[in-house]
Structure 1
Amino acid sequence: MVTVAGGSRDNVQVLLLAEDNSTVNACATYCPPAPGKGQPFQFPLSKDCSGIGCCSAAIPKGYTSYSIQVQPPGNVSEFDADSSVYIAEEGSYNVTRLIFETVNTLPVLLDWVISNSTCGKELLGTPTSGCRSSSSSCQNYTSFAYKGYRCRCSAGYQGNPYVVDGCQDIDECAHWELHSCYGTCINMPGAFRCQCPDETYGNPFMKGGCIKNKKSSQGLSIGLVASGGSILVLLAFGAPFVTRKIKQQKAKKRKDKFFKQNHGLLFQQLVSQRADMGERMIITLAELEKATNNFDKTREVGGGGHGIVYKGILDLQVVAIKKSKIIVQREIDDFINEVAILSQINHRNVVKLIGCCLEAEVPLLVYEFISNGTLEHHLHVEGSVSLSWNDRLRIALEISTALAYLHSAASIPVYHRDIKSANILLDESLTAKVSDFGASKFIPIDQTGVTTAVQGTIGYLDPMYYYTGRLTDKSDVFSFGVLLVELLTRKRPLAYDSVDGDSLVLHFASLVTGSVLADLLDPQVMEEEDGEVQEVAALAAKCVRLNGEDRPAMREVEMTLENLRIKRKQAARDAKSRRYDDDGQFSIDDTATEGDTEEPSGEYTVEERILLSERYPR
């Protein structure tokens, strides 16, 4: 922000010039005549520039250097240049202070990256990387003027990621009250553990949540009344037995403690409502240790910042076992929430929950094993060819079918709250499976939404939910609309910026009614589509409308996509029926329906553009 404080009695104009001396912005400050002879003009007391005594102009993005020129407006040849020009972050200054006081410094926010490289080419912690700290991560950054990467300390660390050992572990236990740990706090690299003290159980994240055990900790006592020789004999033969019994009791006590800590009693009550589910869903730790060869590293198949996924065999079935890394109450709450929701859902396009284990220090979830990775992985592969348009359209229909089921056909409506390409799994036939219900929410049948803490992924997050905290079914519709845009353009919502600085969603919505939309779409889609793209683009634009009430319901979205699929298949059949060989025999062209499989059962106003582009984070 360029601000001019006019200390003179003359009007002043300030030009912001680019490297080629072209004007990129300007402002002028007006100093009105004094109200009377000998009476000084009184500047208005304000934090903001009104044009009287000061003016301000925004610095456009994309320029690496500027020059400033102060001059009189019009053709005035002489003027008193007793004025000051400041570069400052918007909202960080007080105009009254700038006019009447001497201000030497103002804060400025610089937009910068390490250029000419990306995270994929960098090795963290090596001399070739800017991220020198071993406890740091790399984040690609792209705008219309800059392309490169930035570094940040990993979760649970703080400091300078650009120097060796610059990111230091945060000792959460030193400020346990900030993390509401009322039990025993144990600091760990990048995290911390909060547990109830020995001989107690309960919730250590609640004041008074740890309760003393009623039973005596002394599980076994032996009294011997005999001669010295008899005592030695009994001890010699009985010691291994006693030791084994003590270990067994300690192990059982430890499992019971974790079972209670992980809301096992609550889960038992939940599954008891369905007798056919209760027995098979609670899996012992011993079974999972056997299934994964004691959680051997060779069984790891994926994971992220919050957990590791193992591949195992349970009851002759290949399963995926999700083990949380971080022992904090929110992780456990999300775990129980996911179990509660998935235990009530049975849909071919929703990942199937097989069971869970509550006996470990961290809870474990057991799912059906989906071997083909995520939609994000398949869509954003290197090279010009990705998923076929036919597969993308079918996958979009399958996701919409699952969401429509969750919103209106499940016994209790469920809002997912984190729909994105990374949370869509694909099996061997590229059938979509909606996953990761940790942030999902049950909605009472008689309500249309709830007010709750904001959760989700920036880029896919409904802006109205972000601003108001009001979660509705239209919040999932917005996220699905972003996913449709991603399928059409093959561009990542969070990493994209248009030449005007707009997000992918805003830029897409501004082009959808024009003829230049093709420039934004994936060339592969334009080559393979058969007249459906414009309708899918229009549907995506409806889904990402700023006002939730203007978005279609998920069932309506599903029906629209299903009709498009039916028309596409019918067009393929009609094309086949018109193909005959030279002898008049019917000839089948296999390429006409390549990738075809059976499917399962606007524009913004100026105010909306400003809201999405400047206030809503991308």
Structure 2
Amino acid sequence: MEKEYTRLLLPAHLLLLLFHPAAADTVPVVARSPGCSTKCGNIDVPYPFGLDPQCAIHSGFELNCTTVNGATKLFHDDLEVIKISVKDGKSWVKTWISRQCYHRANDTITYNNAWINVSTYVLSADDNKVVILGCDSLAYMLSDSYIIGCLSTCDDKTQRPKNGSCSGAGCCQANLPRGVSYYQGFFNSFYNNSEPRLSSTSCNYVTVMETKAFNFRSTYLTTSEFWDADGSRTPVVMEWGISRNTCQEAKVDKETPYACVSSNSDCVTNDFGYLCNCSSGYKGNPYVVGGCTGGSVGLVVLVIAITCAYLIRERRKLHRIKKKYYRQHGGMLLFQEMKSQQGIAFKIFSEEELQRATNMFDEKNVIGHGGHGKVYKGVLKNDVQVAVKRCMTIDEQQKKEFGKEMLILSQVNHKNIVKLLGCCLEVEVPMLVYEFIPNGTLFQLFHGDHGQHISLSTRLRIAYESAEALAYLHSCASPPILHGDVKSSNILLDGDYTAKVSDFGASILAPTDMSQFVTYVQGTCGYLDPEYMQTWQLTDKSDVYSFGVVILELFTRKKAFNLDGPEHEKSLTLVFLSAMKNNRLMDILDEQIKNDENTELLEEIAELARQCLEMSGINRPSMKEVADKLDRLRKVMQHPWTPENSEELYSLLGDSSVSSTGVVTTENFTIAKNAAMGLELGR
């Protein structure tokens, strides 16, 4: 739908050519030193790139032209560059393949693990995919924030590999999140230890490559054809920008010159930073003075005539497409159910309403983003602030069930869950509209650079409220709802810093049979349930494990996964479990909350986190049990439990603290206090 909408508007933009005078043919003045070469073999090297320091806009755009085995090749560090597009802000490079091979003759497995780490580029999420080849191969790419992978299998009866088909039989693909500049390829040993079945030397592969350049062949599974095709490398599309600044930041930057020097050029912010384009009706190089030139008046008249006819046809086509998507996503079913069930505060929004609310999904309004899409702040006509979640993909099963699932989610009503207000169905991938929560995320509160002091009572309250919300989804929603991505960045804070669990949608209703279980691996590093990684079955105990990591974040103020830390300190979970084993809990807790009076309470919280992080889901408590335990700890902290104010203790705990004579004894007081804190739970 988004593509169709763009196709409709682009010709209209050409009408602006009427207001631009026709530009004379001029020779652009290149903003670099004279004598700079613009070719490396048969590859164009346009500015801002250059083959010498004085020829590139800055060091990140310096390339190297060299001869390899008699052939002239272009390199950026150790990446071979095969094409550069100034217009698109993209470069095509060759990257390496990760390989795992089984040798039947000597019963050994060998590995070639590839990785990429570049500072000038990010991988294009629109042009590339993660590709996995092999039989019984569960492989994945590990980036700085995500794990992306899938499972390819071979079954002679039901999963026979077919040329040109990459749907799980010997080949599978996974989408890339945006903004990734670093990854490594890995194979999951749980699936890859079994003996390959196709030849004496069978290999599994994982790589990131350009979607258009890949066409699966079954011979990739039985020969080394895929590995040998281009020196064990595959083409990948990279997006680049002049710097990490946005357009607004670049224009006021005193230290770095603004790059869009040609008249009739525009600045564009992308996933990397900012780049320059020639304005509508102009073409050329916006990075050189006079580089953007226009067309003739005659061409403009011709374009206008064609555009008028095109617009009439495309508007009719657009209307038909919107109706098709509306029906496909269950819009009629949802509308009829809403009419029959009076009082449901849920609205079906039009695409135009949400475009107007977000100023055409302006990047300035982005308040969150991840592997599934972006979240925009919007203002409706009645001045109500909302958050609009615009996802990238949806599978066929979700399309069929979307209307029914939206009706279920619209009835979720809990004070600690972000309210789903409505959805938009007339687009290819439905958009979700939530209430707007003003104080950002729990992740931003704890890991931002503001250094704000957060009391122990506030942390315990946020933990309890979040647990209550998840317990409601698991136990009270009908059917139960599994969150699937519990993390601190999905817990929002309102004006009073009350916790609001967010980012649950049409993909996480509890499965009713085995066929509905998730069969690919995608999640957030540091929070993933290890049992889910082994079984690919998302359960309520997967949410419990992830929430255990959130508890650690709350009371250590450390990130769940620290890519820059030493190897043994990357995972907060492993650091915590090691500290518990060696009786060093206090060494990893946040200094703001440690004191002699809190030691017993903190140990109880740590024990609860440890139970949540059990390797086997069956040994973990339910979210209801977690919430109840946090509630007891919270109430204990709210009362200064001493024998002198024993009446309050009695009112909270009842007869457990009173002797047979009705007197609160010291011995019974201690027993009751311990019971309140749940000291026997799990011991």
- Give the TM-score range, shorter chain: 0.5 to 0.7
Specify the alignment match of 1:543 in structure 2.
612
CA contact 2:469–2:501 (8 Å) conserved in 1: yes
Matched, 1:413 2:480: yes
State the Cα distance separating 1:451 from its structure 2 match. 4.4
1:308 to 369, 374, 390: 374
Secondary structure of 2:478's partner? coil
Specify the alignment match of 1:31 in structure 2.
none
CA contact 2:438–2:493 (8 Å) conserved in 1: yes
1:512 to 580, 583, 587: 580
CA contact 1:449–1:471 (8 Å) conserved in 2: no
Check 1:277–1:246 CA distance in 2 against 1; reply closer, same or farther (3 A cut).
farther
Matched, 1:170 2:215: no
Question: Higher mean Cα deviation, 519-528 or 341-350?
Answer: 519-528
CA contact 1:418–1:440 (8 Å) conserved in 2: no
Check 1:322–1:90 CA distance in 2 against 1; reply closer, same or farther (3 A cut).
closer
Secondary structure of 1:508's partner? helix
Q: What amino acid does structure 2 have at the position aligned with 1:459? A: G
Q: What amino acid does structure 1 have at the position aligned with 2:406? A: V
Specify the alignment match of 2:463 in structure 1.
396
Alignment of 1:58-73 (within 5 A): none
* TM-score relative to the length of structure 1: 0.53
**CA–CA distance in 1 between the matches of 2:514 and 2:498?**
30
Q: What amino acid does structure 2 have at the position aligned with 1:521? A: L
Q: What amino acid does structure 2 have at the position aligned with 1:486? A: E
Q: What amino acid does structure 1 have at the position aligned with 2:559? A: R
CA contact 1:92–1:107 (8 Å) conserved in 2: no
Check 1:416–1:170 CA distance in 2 against 1; reply closer, same or farther (3 A cut).
same
State the Cα distance separating 1:276 from its structure 2 match. 3.0
CA contact 2:402–2:506 (8 Å) conserved in 1: no
**CA–CA distance in 2 between the matches of 1:161 and 1:288?**
35
State the Cα distance separating 1:396 from its structure 2 match. 0.5
Q: What amino acid does structure 2 have at the position aligned with 1:568? A: M
1:289 to 341, 355, 371: 355
Specify the alignment match of 1:533 in structure 2.
602
Q: What amino acid does structure 1 have at the position aligned with 2:449? A: E
State the Cα distance separating 1:517 from its structure 2 match. 1.1
1:522 to 586, 590, 593: 590
State the Cα distance separating 1:330 from its structure 2 match. 8.3
Matched, 1:132 2:198: no
State the Cα distance separating 1:354 from its structure 2 match. 0.8
Q: Which runs of 5+ in 1 are unaligned?
A: 1-88, 99-104, 115-129, 142-152, 179-187, 192-241, 578-618
Question: Higher mean Cα deviation, 256-265 or 532-541?
Answer: 256-265
Secondary structure of 2:320's partner? helix
Check 1:261–1:169 CA distance in 2 against 1; reply closer, same or farther (3 A cut).
farther
**CA–CA distance in 2 between the matches of 1:448 and 1:555?**
25
**CA–CA distance in 1 between the matches of 2:637 and 2:377?**
38
Residue-by-residue CA offset, 1:439-478 (whole Å, 9 max, x unaligned): 7533379x99974425543421222222123333222111
Check 1:154–1:473 CA distance in 2 against 1; reply closer, same or farther (3 A cut).
closer
State the Cα distance separating 1:134 from its structure 2 match. 5.1
Matched, 1:429 2:493: no
**CA–CA distance in 1 between the matches of 2:319 and 2:101?**
60
Check 1:306–1:414 CA distance in 2 against 1; reply closer, same or farther (3 A cut).
closer
CA contact 1:418–1:439 (8 Å) conserved in 2: no
Q: What amino acid does structure 1 have at the position aligned with 2:589? A: L
Check 1:485–1:351 CA distance in 2 against 1; reply closer, same or farther (3 A cut).
same
**CA–CA distance in 2 between the matches of 1:463 and 1:168?**
24
CA contact 1:156–1:190 (8 Å) conserved in 2: no
Secondary structure of 2:374's partner? strand
1:459 to 526, 529, 532: 526
CA contact 1:350–1:402 (8 Å) conserved in 2: yes
Q: What amino acid does structure 1 have at the position aligned with 2:120? A: R
**CA–CA distance in 2 between the matches of 1:458 and 1:439?**
22
Specify the alignment match of 1:319 in structure 2.
386
Question: Higher mean Cα deviation, 131-140 or 456-465?
Answer: 131-140
Specify the alignment match of 2:635 in structure 1.
566
CA contact 1:155–1:190 (8 Å) conserved in 2: no
Check 1:253–1:425 CA distance in 2 against 1; reply closer, same or farther (3 A cut).
same
**CA–CA distance in 1 between the matches of 2:238 and 2:334?**
29
**CA–CA distance in 1 between the matches of 2:401 and 2:626?**
29
Check 1:547–1:157 CA distance in 2 against 1; reply closer, same or farther (3 A cut).
closer
**CA–CA distance in 2 between the matches of 1:271 and 1:189?**
45
**CA–CA distance in 2 between the matches of 1:90 and 1:529?**
54
**CA–CA distance in 2 between the matches of 1:253 and 1:156?**
31
Check 1:176–1:345 CA distance in 2 against 1; reply closer, same or farther (3 A cut).
farther
Alignment of 1:85-124 (within 5 A): 96=106
Q: What amino acid does structure 1 have at the position aligned with 2:544? A: V
Specify the alignment match of 1:613 in structure 2.
none
**CA–CA distance in 2 between the matches of 1:308 and 1:329?**
21
State the Cα distance separating 1:131 from its structure 2 match. 2.2
Residue-by-residue CA offset, 1:4-24 (whole Å, 9 max, x unaligned): xxxxxxxxxxxxxxxxxxxxx
Specify the alignment match of 2:447 in structure 1.
380
Secondary structure of 2:538's partner? strand
Q: Which runs of 5+ in 2 are unaligned?
A: 1-98, 126-141, 146-174, 185-206, 219-235, 240-308, 647-683
**CA–CA distance in 2 between the matches of 1:485 and 1:269?**
45
Check 1:574–1:333 CA distance in 2 against 1; reply closer, same or farther (3 A cut).
farther
Check 1:456–1:299 CA distance in 2 against 1; reply closer, same or farther (3 A cut).
closer
Q: What amino acid does structure 1 have at the position aligned with 2:458? A: D
Check 1:544–1:261 CA distance in 2 against 1; reply closer, same or farther (3 A cut).
same
Q: Which has the larger radius of gyration?
A: 1
Check 1:529–1:276 CA distance in 2 against 1; reply closer, same or farther (3 A cut).
farther
CA contact 2:528–2:546 (8 Å) conserved in 1: yes
Matched, 1:554 2:634: no
Check 1:133–1:336 CA distance in 2 against 1; reply closer, same or farther (3 A cut).
farther
Q: Give identity over the alignment, percent.
A: 39
**CA–CA distance in 1 between the matches of 2:321 and 2:217?**
26
CA contact 2:390–2:431 (8 Å) conserved in 1: yes
2:341 to 271, 274, 281: 274
Matched, 1:473 2:540: yes
CA contact 2:116–2:183 (8 Å) conserved in 1: no
**CA–CA distance in 2 between the matches of 1:537 and 1:448?**
34
**CA–CA distance in 2 between the matches of 1:413 and 1:306?**
22
Secondary structure of 2:639's partner? helix
Secondary structure of 2:578's partner? helix
